[in-house]
Amino acid sequence: MDAIQQELLTQVAGLHEVPEGAYNIRANGEMAGRNTTANIDIITKKDRSGIDIKIKPGTKSESVHIPVVLSKSGLKESVYNDFFVGEDCDVTIIAGCGIHNSGAEASEHSGVHRFFVEKNAKVRYVEKHYGSGDGSGERVMNPTTEIHLAEGASLEMETVQIKGIDSTARVTTAKVAEGACLVIKEKIMTHGRQHAETDFTVTMEGADSSVNLISRSVAKEHSTQLFRSRIIGNASCHGHSECDAIIMDEAGVSAIPELTANHIDANLIHEAAIGKIAGEQLIKLMTLGLSEKEAEEQIVKGFLK
């Protein structure tokens, strides 16, 4: 891999060298490296672009990296990855996509990830998006995530997009069974004329299931953001959705919550807050010697931490 692709890998997956354990690295539409282990197998799909990741029951303290990097202007691809996580697993999955575009044509990655998490399995899933390059071509990412949690399973999903993506539409759907738990934490920052959309739909099917959706975002300059969340409680369950956004300059942010309770013991809550940086916060930092711009940067950094 060249220096640009290596930098993208570092940004989206924290990789400075070949990772330990299982991995599948994709660069400019082609496989750039793969490794499997005794417990984690990675198989190329035969009917379309993508892979199947199969994790054996009982696998503990193992990880799999599946980053994607694009450094060729004008490249557009759609990739389909399925994760089959066996019972009683405890694993970490590191994904993410980086696009470097120095040309005039748009570069686009659309990824569809489906998770089938079996009984009492535990998954931590990390997905980072990053864009770079001084070309006029757009950097576009459209991730779709479909989650199926069996009885007692849990998935914690962390998504980060804080630089360089011109347009993104993130769609996440989930079905949560009895005693299962889903936690999704997203962080987004947009600037210029960038646009970011988030669309969550979670259906809780089993008793004592739970979901916690947390979105923190910063919109700068003329960028726009749209946050939608739908939580459907079909059983005794706990659902919480939270959108907290800072708006700056001429940006715009919309939050659209929807809660549907189809059971008397469905406990569903939504919170949303959109506003500018508080003046007293700026003043406090500026009295310590920071300029207004430096103070804003420190507040935003702490907010997205």
Strand, helix or coil at 166? Answer: coil
Which of 196, 127, 187, 143 is closest to 165 using CA atoms?
196
Res 18: pLDDT: 74
Q: Which pTM was predicted? A: 0.94
Q: For the chain, give the mean pLDDT.
A: 95
Residue 39 clears pLDDT 90, i.e. is over it = yes
CB atoms under 10 Å from CB of 100, counted, come to 24
Q: What angle do CA 65, 57, 237 make, to 5 degrees?
A: 90
* Residue among 190, 189, 183 at smallest CA distance from 214: 183
Residues for the chain: how many in total? 305
> What does the buried/exposed string (b/e) look like for 188-210 if buried means 16 or more CB atoms within 10 Å of the residue's CB?
bbbbeebbbbbbbebbbbbebbb
170, β-bridge pairs: 198
Domain boundaries, the chain: 3-303
HEC per residue, 259-300: EEECCCCEEEEEEEEEECCCHHHHHHHHCCCCCHHHHHHHHH
The H or E element that residue 5 is part of is: helix 3-13
Ranking 194-198, 250-254, 255-259, 297-301 by mean pLDDT, the lowest is 297-301
Alpha carbon 122 to chain centroid, angstroms:
18
> Could you read off the pLDDT of 41-92 as tens digits, one per residue?
999 999 999 999 999 999 999 999 999 999 999 999 999 999 999 999 999 9
Q: Hey, how many other C-beta atoms are within 10 angstroms of the C-beta on 108?
A: 21
